[in-house]
Structure 1
Amino acid sequence: MPATPQDRLRALCLALPECEERPSHGESAWFAGGKRMFATLADHHHDDRTACWLAAPPGLQEHLVAADPDRFFRPPYVGHRGWLGVHLDVEVDWPHLADLLTAAYGLVAPARLRAALEER
């Protein structure tokens, strides 16, 4: 298992079909099929915390932030579109984060890649 939270996040994202990593706004970001971003690292970019921001289905952001505000938050810039912030500088539930990343990927991936994901 990778050593740092950033490396673990990267490994989870790159395990998804045709995921591409490239910088966006000075941070690592992951794109489904190289086209649409589904997650980004926020490494002390907007505050003194390390986190990731990811696409989320309607209602999930509000639910998770209300249930566990120490782990989840509404990120700046994209929070109004439902994106979810996940702190990586606390104890992370990595299987849960993997599920959230898979769901984020599925929200933006083209049908062909969603089908590939479902076949796994």
Structure 2
Amino acid sequence: MAVVDDVRMLGTELERSYHAYVRGRLKFRVGQIVYAAFSLDESVMGFAFPKEERAALVGGDPHKFQLPSASELRFNWIHADLASLEPTEAREFVVDAWRMVVPKKLSRAYDLAHPNGPV
């Protein structure tokens, strides 16, 4: 069972990333691009995810993953029930979302520094 504290440090540890509170909601950003965000009650984590892979992820575990609202379907975004994720799994989704918004050289540098994935 993952909680926000399992991924909170990634919001500042990942290169060019920072966290911000917008209307009480924790969001992780690179520049002005939000790549992960949490609901007010911190039970749902939304994160960048390839549009073409969303249906498979949601179809594989619809209790864990949900499509974003209709107005957000145009974005590379998906929602997950945070309590249904393992802490390591939640960190991997955050790092993968970060990879979608940073230059490839930063992603490669992260891989070299963390060969076993996020800790």
What TM-score does the superposition give when structure 2 sets the normalisation length? Answer: 0.76
2:17 aligned with 1:39: no
Out of 85, 90, 113, the residue aligned to residue 92 of structure 1 is 85
Q: CA deviation at 1:63?
A: 1.2
1:27 pairs with 2:25:
yes
Unpaired segments of 5 or more residues in structure 1? none
SS in 2 for 1:43: coil
Are the structure 2 counterparts of residues 24 and 79 from structure 1 closer, same or farther at C-alpha, using a change threshold of 3 Å? farther
Task: Read off the aligned partner of 2:13 and give its amino acid letter.
Answer: A
Inter-partner Cα distance in structure 1 for 2:50 and 2:84? 24
Describe the SS at the equivalent of 2:14.
coil
2:21 alignment partner, SS class? strand
Q: TM-score, normalised by structure 1?
A: 0.75
Q: CA deviation at 1:68?
A: 0.6
Identify which of structures 1 and 2 has the higher relative contact order when contacts are C-alpha pairs closer than 8 Å and 6+ apart: 2
Tell me the number of residue pairs that the alignment of Structure 1 and Structure 2 aligns: 111
Residues 1:62 and 2:55 are matched in the alignment: yes
Aligned counterpart in structure 1 of residue 74 of structure 2, from 77, 80, 99: 80
Which blocks of at least 5 consecutive residues in structure 2 are unaligned? 114-119
CA distance in 2, matches of 1:113, 1:24: 26
Cα distance change on mapping 1:14 and 1:63 into 2, 3 Å: farther
